[in-house]
Amino acid sequence: MINLKVYTLVIFIILNTTIFSQIYVAPYGNDSDPGTIDQPLESIQKAQELVSPGDTVFIRGGTYQIREDQISRIVSNLFACISYLDKSGTEDHTIKYWAYPGETPIFDFSNVKPANQRVAGIYITGSYIHIKGLEMTGVQVTITTHTESYCIYSRGNHNIFEQISMHDNVGTGLRHYRGGNNLFLNCDSYRNWDNVSEDKLGSNNDGFGCHPDPGSTGNIFRGCRAWFNSDDGFDIIRADESVVFDSCLAFYNGYTTSFDELGDGNGFKAGGYAHDNADQIPNPVPRHTVEFCIAVRNKANGFDSNHHLAGNNWYNNSAYRNATNFNMVNRVSPDSDDIWANGYDHVLKNNLSYNARGSETEYIDTAQNTLSHNSFDLGINITDEDFVSLDESQLTAPRKPDGSLPDIDFMKPAQGSDIIDAGIDIGFGFLGNAPELGAIEVNYLTDVLNNEGRMPEKISLFHNYPNPFNPLTDIIYEVPNSGNVEITIYDSIGRKIKTLVNEMKNSGTYEVRFDGSNLTSGVYFYRLQMNGNSIVKQMLLLK
């Protein structure tokens, strides 16, 4: 006889074990097929009809030549949507639309030209969706008056857009409205130019746009690049909540590939309510953050506050060869028509500006802003020799296999430059005595110590770099004499995760790498112990 307790346990496990489905889409698929790996579907739209929270749609590589008969829905009698994703996952069980591992699905919308409608390659109203690894091209515009088409038109919450390449479109790359807590991670948007509507200069075509509604906080762009877009690289005009740009690149925006002038041409357009009526302006006005970003040779401004009605946070950014590198222009007040006021309430720290075509800065009133340790207020004389390289071709280097930005030497401080250690600690990880100016932190510490023959005078534990990190970060430490050294990693509630070092060390400077591949995102601590002394520092893993 089966033991009743065992039987009950088996039934409990069966009832509480969820089996998630995998659905397959391929260029050679058929929407009448079941969506297995051997009998894939043809369209993402059909796949979304079949998915449930926790399921994964694997999209096989190859070119998908999208047809007009694949328009799945017309929204507001205006938006012609190829894929309309309105089915949501949950916080614990997202719905994934992922490129099949090792393959690149390319969606070509060149043949989709519905008259008098805006094309949206993917239109999203659902939440807890993760789209990864798609390439999108050829989105068309058919309206000749004021209009815009899109590779991706996003209106959901808690979604992740990762490793998406949007290029050579007549439409914008990605435009987000309304929702919050979306992550735009390691995406590229380039060579997008609307040469059809209005004056054919593409004054609406941005690489990325983000315009959340009141209450929709938490939208972050991280590791994204935008170049040769006919209007702006990144545009958050009329955003009703704060948006964060972290480690993003914007270059050559406002130009054709031959550098003929097109639209506005800002790298990062951070906010703005130039001519909006007072009753259209959010209260409070959001404060945006732009950190560790690089803006190069944009037609107009590298970093632009765009007649905003509040200050923004600008930390550790690098600007080079823009018409104006940092333009902090504000509007006087919601009740004023003066939109060309000196910037106020901005915080600029550790920023690097070099070789602007016009002005390094504009509309910065030092009395009305917080400026600290920027190249333009420190009086540092910067030359080409302060950088390892100024080769702009590195900006379009291929991404790493995991989609993260390539390691480049462009605007990387050269050893011995006054840019190194010229910043101020504002809470980010750094190496050496202080942060570098600009977006790139360097590690010349070990070489300098070894070359000088200097012996450490005390136990020291430096900030890990990079921080935040995913999944690798380096930890540098110094010991003044011989002894057993232990470096241990702990999670946020004090549980030991891993011992990185536990051995005898002679006097010197050492470096150890920590790999968080098997850990979840969150705060972790690393502790150095030697001869009864202990130093603890904090690091942040973001996946």
- Give the domain-ending residue among 178, 205, 232: 205
Which of 205, 235, 266 is where one domain is finished?
Answer: 205
Residue-number span of the structural domain to which 511 is assigned = 455-543
- Both tokens assigned to 330: 């504000």
Q: Is residue 148 a contact partner of residue 204, using CB atoms and an 8 Å limit?
A: yes
Structural domain includes residue 196: yes
pTM: 0.85
Query: Is 307 a member of any domain?
Result: no
Choosing from 96, 269, 299, 412, the catalytic residue is 269
The residue type found at 383 is T
Q: Which residues pair with 96 in a beta bridge?
A: 56, 130
Structure tokens at 66: 């999208």
Q: What is the CATH number of the domain that holds 177?
A: 2.160.20.10
- 189 within a domain of the structure (yes/no): yes
Query: Within 10 A of 130 (CB to CB), how many other CB atoms are there?
Result: 18
DSSP strands (E only) in 373-416? none
| Helix, strand, coil percentages, rounded to 5, for the chain | 10, 35, 55
Q: 75 in a domain, yes or no?
A: yes
How many structural domains are present in the chain? 2
- Let me know if residue 237 belongs to a domain: no
Q: What is the pLDDT of residue 447?
A: 45
**Other beta carbons within 10 Å of 1:** 4
Residue 448 lies in a domain: no
Q: Give dist(CA 245, CA 251) in Å, integer.
A: 15
Residues in contact with 294: Cβ distance below 8 Å, sequence separation at least 6, in sequence order: 248, 249, 250, 251, 317, 318, 319, 320, 395, 410, 411, 439
416 belongs to a structural domain: no
Amino acid (1-letter code) at residue 56: T
Length of the chain: 543
Is residue 458 part of the annotated active site? The answer reads no
CATH assignment of the domain containing 500:
2.60.40.2550
Nearest to 96 by CA among 126, 63, 58: 58
Least Cα distance to 403 among 133, 107, 219 occurs for 133
The DSSP bridge pattern shows strands 135-137 and 105-108 to be parallel
Backbone φ, ψ for residue 136 (5° rounding): -130, 130
Last residue of a domain, one of 183, 205, 227: 205
Residue by residue, pLDDT tens for the chain (543 residues) are 445 554 554 444 444 446 789 999 999 999 999 999 999 999 999 999 999 999 999 999 999 999 999 999 999 999 999 999 999 999 999 999 999 999 999 999 999 999 999 999 999 999 999 999 999 999 999 999 999 999 999 999 999 999 999 999 999 999 999 999 999 999 999 999 999 999 999 999 999 999 999 999 999 999 999 999 999 999 999 999 999 999 999 999 999 999 999 999 999 999 999 889 999 999 999 999 999 999 999 999 999 999 999 999 999 999 999 999 999 999 999 999 999 999 999 999 999 999 999 999 999 999 999 999 999 999 899 999 999 999 999 999 999 999 999 999 999 999 999 999 999 999 988 877 899 999 999 977 544 444 444 456 788 898 888 888 899 999 989 888 889 999 999 988 778 999 999 999 988 888 999 999 999 988 899 999 998 888 988 888 987
Per-residue confidence (pLDDT) for residue 18, from 0 to 100: 62
**Whole-angstrom distance, CA of residue 250 vs CA of residue 225:** 6
- Enumerate residues 6+ apart whose C-beta is below 8 A from 78: 117, 118
How many C-beta atoms lie closer than 10 Å to residue 365's C-beta?
A: 14
Kindly state whether residue 10 falls inside one of the protein's structural domains. no
Residues 6 or more apart in contact with residue 7 via CB below 8 angstroms: none
